[in-house]
Amino acid sequence: MLTASAHLLTAGSDPDPVERIRPASDLPVLLLCEHAGQAVPVELGGLGLEPGTLDLHVGWDIGAAAVTRLMAQELGCGALLQRYSRLVIDCNRPPEAPDAMPERSDGITVPGNVALGASDRARRIDEVFTPYNDAVLEARRAGGPMLLSVHSFTPELRTRPGARPWHVGFLCRKDRQTSQALLDAIAARRPDLNLVLNQPYQIDDESDWFVPAHGEASGLPHSLIEIRNDLIDTPQGQAEMAALLCGAVRTVLETQC
């Protein structure tokens, strides 16, 4: 049985929720990766999951952290990556959202999330979501005209049959210009790619956090970038995608910022 203590992340082996990459240049871009990690606090006993589950797309965004780190290195910009599995708490969801700590994810039951009490939810919010969110707010205050959140998506969901054919999606709502500019810059370099706005899903206040709470709230140009994970599940694919995105970012900065 999973138990809760007064403090969730007290074990010495539990990592800080935020990985910080300091900017090495004055390039005004902040990269975020809300689903970078697979960590689970020791106290949660692996959430009761079967071995290997955290390696699937339900556990993290496959390849997204590597792409984010490579982009930060190439651009010399700052980045913040969230180290805990999205099944502990999804830091791209409002913390009160039902799927912020899902009992089931793409058909997979998460035993450690079943019938969570208010105090258990509060600990995850206080010790994972809030430190990461505060780090983003602090970095935003430091300035910079562009916020980019890097994610990946699976080519096909178990619970929704049918291929998801897009290679890269740029998610936006009020700031459509930044996403369209990034899409256009990549399309000019790689016309073979299937690029799209607002797929594999659309932004809304009830189930999304980065775009409403950081992008739109800041008034800064922003985009949530969704990369199909079979394109970035190897080091070669990660390097190629990072280079492609960095070229697009530079183009947009030169022409619009």
| Ordered domains of the chain (ranges, CATH) | 18-256 (3.40.630.40)
Q: Are 85 and 112 in contact (CB under 8 A)?
A: no
pLDDT, position 80: 97
pTM of the model as a whole = 0.94
d(C-alpha 83, C-alpha 33), whole Å: 9
Q: How confident is the model at residue 163 (pLDDT cuts 50, 70, 90)?
A: confident
Q: How confident is the model at residue 186 (pLDDT cuts 50, 70, 90)?
A: very high
DSSP 136: H
The tally of CA atoms less than 13 A away on the side-chain side of residue 46 is 8
d(C-alpha 32, C-alpha 64), whole Å: 10
Q: How confident is the model at residue 11 (pLDDT cuts 50, 70, 90)?
A: low
Mean pLDDT across 129-137: 97
d(C-alpha 234, C-alpha 241), whole Å: 11
At residue 1, does pLDDT exceed 60?
Answer: no
At residue 187, does pLDDT exceed 70?
Answer: yes
pLDDT, position 10: 46
pLDDT, position 156: 83
Whether the upstream peptide bond of residue 131 has omega within 30° of 0, thus cis, is no
d(C-alpha 92, C-alpha 211), whole Å: 9
